[in-house]
Amino acid sequence: MLKPINAEIDFEYKCEKCGGSNWITKQETISRKLKCYCGHINTVIPIKYVKITYNCFNNQKILNKQSVQKAINILRGVGYLKSTAETMVLKIAQTNSSLTTDKLVKQAIKEEVK
């Protein structure tokens, strides 16, 4: 599975004078200045980086999405953070895609305690 090596994303800004919409790239934010088509020069906060979050559920072959989601919910219910619960369950589900919710939870906790 490929991951992008580069991206071109435009950011929309609303001119503080005329309310008009202006689009600039991340690179263009570095100058801190955004000249609107009305002539007003707006000050923008430079963007350092954009974080990409991959959708693991669509990218990986997980046969039992429902069990995975239920297992994540159970772990969250006992106090694990969402991101931690997802990492724990997906790690197990990737190697054993046919596990039931119960087994996913047990295995995930077992791995966490190791």
Task: Give the shortest CB-44-to-Zn ion separation in angstroms.
Answer: 13
Measured from the CB atom, the residue of 34 and 85 that comes closer to Zn ion is 34
Q: Which residue's CB is nearer to Zn ion, number 18 or number 63?
A: 18
Residue in the structure block whose two tokens are 């990986």: 60
Phi, psi of 12 (to 5 degrees): -95, 135
Count how many Cα atoms sit within 13 Å of the Cα of residue 33 in the half-sphere of its side chain.
6
Which of the residues 66 through 105 are near Zn ion (CB under 5 A)? none
Size of the site for Zn ion (CB under 5 A): 7
Two tokens at 72?
């994540």
Tokens of 84: 């931690």
**38 vs 81 by CB, closer to Zn ion:** 38
Per-residue binder mask for Zn ion (CB under 5 A), 2-41, x = binder:
-------------x-xx-x---------------x-x-x-
Choice between 20 and 65, CB closer to Zn ion: 20
Closest to 102 measured CA to CA, from 60, 74, 62: 74
Q: Is residue 29 within 8 Å of residue 35, measured between CB atoms? A: no
| CB 13 to Zn ion: min, Å | 10
The two most distant CA atoms of the chain are separated, in Å, by: 63
Which residues are near Zn ion by CB under 5 A? 15, 17-18, 20, 36, 38, 40
